[in-house]
Chains A and B, each alone.
Chain A
Amino acid sequence: MRCDNCKERDAVINLTQVEHDTKVTLHLCEQCAQEKGIETGTTVLKSTLGTFLSAMGKGTNLPVPADTIRCPSCGATLRDFRDSGRLGCAQCYQAFAEHLRDLLRRLHGSSQHVGERYVAPGGDGEASAVSELLELRDKLRRAVESENFERAAELRDQIRVLE
Chain B
Amino acid sequence: MIDLSLLPDGGLGWLHASGPNPQIVLSTRIRLARNLVGHPFSLRATDADRRAVLARVTDAARASERLPRAVVLPLDELERPDRQLLHERHLVSKELAALEGDPAKPRAGAAVLVDAPAGVMVNEEDHLRLQAMLSGFDLDNAYATLESVDSELGQLLPFAFHSEFGYLTSCPTNAGTGLRASVLIHLPGLVLTKEIGKVLQGLTQVGLTFRGLYGEGSEVVGNFFQLSNQTTLGKAETELLDHLGRIVRQVIEYEEQARDVLLKTAAGTVEDKVWRAYGLLRYARTLSFEETMNLLSGVRLGVGLNLISGLSVYTLNKLLIHTQPAHLAAMEGRPLSDSEERATRASYVRQLLGAETT
B173 near A18: Cβ-Cβ < 8 Å: no
Size of the chain B interface, CB-CB below 8 angstroms: 46
| Least Cβ–Cβ distance between A147 and chain B, in angstroms | 21
| Nearest-neighbor residue (CB-CB) of A85 within chain B | B171
Residues of A within 8 A of B233 (CB): 104, 107-108, 110-113
| From B39, B161, B247, residue with most partner A Cβ within 10 Å | B161
User: Which of A7-15, A40-48, A86-94 forms contacts with chain B?
Assistant: A86-94
User: 8 Å CB contacts to A: which residues of B51-103?
Assistant: none
The dominant DSSP class at the A interface is loop
Q: How far is the CA of A158 from the CA of B164 in the complex (A)?
A: 7
Looking at the assembled complex, report how far the CB atom of A49 sits from the nearest CB atom of chain B, in whole angstroms. 28
Decide if B205 touches A115 in the complex (CB within 8 Å): no
Indicate the member of B44, B155, B179, B205 with the most A CB atoms within 10 Å.
Answer: B44
A121 with B157: CB separation less than 8 A: yes
User: Count of A-B contacts with CB under 8 A?
Assistant: 126
Q: A86-B170, A108-B232 are in contact. Are A121 and B206 (CB under 8 A)?
A: no
Task: Please name the residue on chain B nearest to A96 by beta carbon.
Answer: B172
For the A-B complex with A76-B44, A118-B154 known, give 16 more contacts whose Cβ atoms are closer than 8 Å: A21-B206, A23-B202, A75-B44, A86-B41, A87-B41, A88-B44, A89-B40, A93-B165, A107-B172, A111-B233, A111-B234, A112-B164, A112-B234, A113-B234, A115-B166, A117-B161
CA distance A18 to B160 in the complex (A): 34
Report the minimum CB–CB distance from A125 to chain B (whole Å): 11
Is the beta-carbon distance between B158 and A121 smaller than 8 angstroms?
A: yes
Give A8-36 as 1s and 0s: 1 = Cβ < 8 Å from B's Cβ atoms.
Answer: 00000000101001010000000000000
Minimum CB–CB distance from B204 to chain A (whole Å) comes to 11
Answer whether residue A6 sits at the interface, using C-beta atoms and an 8 A cutoff. no
Given contacts A16-B205, A110-B233, A118 and B161 within 8 Å (CB-CB): yes
The digit string for B135-175, where 1 denotes a CB below 8 A from any CB of A, is 00000000000000000001111111111111111111101
Select the residue from B39, B125, B159, B170 with max chain A CB neighbours within 10 A: B170
Q: Does B43 contact A (CB under 8 A)?
A: yes
In the complex, are the beta carbons of A87 and B231 less than 8 A apart?
A: no
Cβ distance A18 to chain B, nearest Cβ, rounded Å: 6
Q: Is the CB of A109 within 8 A of B165?
A: no
B40 touching A74 by the CB < 8 A rule? yes
Cα separation A120 to B160 with both chains bound (whole Å): 9
Docked Cα-Cα span, A21 to B244, in Å, equals 11
Is the C-beta of A116 less than 8 angstroms from some C-beta in chain B? yes
Most chain B CB within 10 A, of A86, A87, A154, is at A87
- Residue pair B234, A121 in contact (C-beta under 8 Å): no
B205 partner residues in chain A, CB cutoff 8 A: 16, 18, 23
Q: List 11 A-B contacts (CB under 8 A).
A: A74-B44, A87-B172, A104-B233, A109-B231, A111-B164, A111-B233, A114-B235, A115-B166, A121-B155, A121-B158, A154-B164
Alpha-carbon gap, A101 to B39, bound state (A): 23
CA distance A104 to B167 in the complex (A): 13
Q: How far is the CA of A88 from the CA of B172 in the complex (A)?
A: 11
Docked CA distance A28–B234 (Å): 30
Q: For A108, list chain B residues within 8 Å (CB).
A: 175-176, 231-234
A104–B169 CA distance with the chains assembled, in angstroms: 12
Contact indicator B43/A88 (Cβ below 8 Å)? yes
A contact residues around B250 at 8 Å (CB): 21
